[in-house]
Amino acid sequence: MSSNKWRLLSLYAIILVVLASYFFIFEVYKKRKATEAKEAEKKVFSVNVEELREITMSKGSESITLRKENDKWLISSPVETETDGPSVLGFVNTLVDLKVKKWVGRESDLSPFGLDQPAITILAKENQKTCRLVLGSKTPTEDGIYAMAFVNDSSVGKEPVFVIDISVWGILNKGLYDLRRKELAKFEDPQVKKIDIKWSDDPKTAITILRETEGWKLPDHPDIKVKKARVDHIVDQIRWLRAQSFVGNSKIDAQSFNLPKPVVEITLELSNREPLRIQLGSPKEEPKASQQQQQQPPRLEAFSSELPFVVLVDRYIMNELPRKPDDLLDRSLFAWKEDDIGKIIYSHDGESVEYMREEGKESEWKWKKAPDKSYKKLKEGWRIRSVVWAASDVEYETKKESVKLFPDKFAGNLKFYNRDGKLLSEWVWQDVSSNPKDSSTVWVKNGESDEIQVFTVPSSRLKNLTDRLKDLEGSLSKS
């Protein structure tokens, strides 16, 4: 190629680079900067959230002060306590990112905007400045809130009065209950090593539960096989205990305090932490201010060694706690997990459907109806999991004498096989009552045993299993 052609190509390349640079600078970069500048103009405050140190919110006679210590927000007034992390985070971030929706003007009379007697006043202190936000009434269209803002007592923005979007009202309009910590305990389930439960009306039946490699055990009752899911559920219910209200704002000495009439005391031994102690009291009679409150069950007085206040909690927790060791007995008829299952056969009303796990495909299943030879793909394979869960949820009430044969007539026959095709468990039942208070009889044969065990189970749980099987069979039309 001649030198002239090289020069020409080089010239074209230079022109292309210049044009590309021009396009980027004037069409992309400057437009982006202009957009950013326009958005920045809408921001009420130019505040770095990391530099905020104190926030005070006033609503009428109520005033709440948040103070940051070691990068953690705490409530310092009217009571010293921890905060509700998500609620305070949403409050602070909304305040920092607050934007003007519309400028109103410079008005001498603030009463039409509710700013002469503000609904909320928020004072936020940074290292070098103090920001003040004043919120008034809703706009006539109810899609905004009238507001004013100041930095070091100087009005910010184009005009003193402006409108912010109504969506932020629920985030900024917080009370003490909204902003304070409500969890009676903060821990992760694996941290729990030991649980002690003591009922005041029968202290001799204290229950101690110890974690072991694959589940839980009762060291004082080694003959009882503990249902892991039952204890896991108890741990979850304790972890999710929330104060529905606080009985005053007086702090207590959580290490030595006792409720006047404790009903039950729970102690959790946690790894790398001090033990956690929770006391629950009797249902508390409360004034019934409305019909809605009359329909709510009584709440319990409670306290926790992690939350040094007497609080009221939902009484449902009492129904979850065992009263005696036998309450933790594993009464499950089905002891396997979904991953163990390779095949399921369900027979009823003269029909039989077989579900087979696809080889080499963990979450995919196929099916066929007897006497068909070929399988079809099961499109809603997740329904197999719901069947296994429902089977795991069936627990016996009583155990009868074993028999050698299944009954001749049955309403349902359900077989579970492992991945090698060996029978894990076969169930037979004759009826399923629709009355949840009734019981049903189930015959169960596990593995290659010749013994058939006979149990009575809650009809409601057996019905749940048959409903899941019905849903699974109903989905076959989609396959």
CA distance linking residue 261 with residue 304, whole number of Å: 15
Element (H, E) at 453: strand 453-458
120: tokens are 């909320």
Mention every residue, 6+ apart, whose C-beta is less than 8 A from residue 334.
388, 391, 392, 394, 416, 425
The pTM (predicted TM-score) of the whole model is 0.75
The arrangement of strands across the sheet holding 307-314 comes to: 215-217, 207-212, 192-199, 262-270, 276-284, 299-304, 307-314, 245-246
CA distance linking residue 52 with residue 92, whole number of Å: 9
pLDDT at 290: 46
CA distance linking residue 460 with residue 443, whole number of Å: 17
pLDDT at 127: 83
CA distance linking residue 130 with residue 3, whole number of Å: 69
CA distance linking residue 304 with residue 279, whole number of Å: 7
pLDDT at 156: 84
pLDDT at 36: 45
pLDDT at 25: 60
Q: What are phi and psi of 288, to 5 degrees?
A: -100, 100
- The residue with tokens 């076969």 is 426
Q: Helix, strand, coil: what percent of the chain each, to 5?
A: 30, 35, 35
Across the strands, what pairs with 420?
Answer: none
The arrangement of strands across the sheet holding 412-418 comes to: 376-378, 365-369, 351-357, 341-348, 412-418, 423-429, 439-446, 453-458, 398-399
The parts of the chain modelled with pLDDT lower than 70 are 1-13, 17-41, 285-297, 479
- The residue with tokens 């649980």 is 195
pLDDT at 38: 55
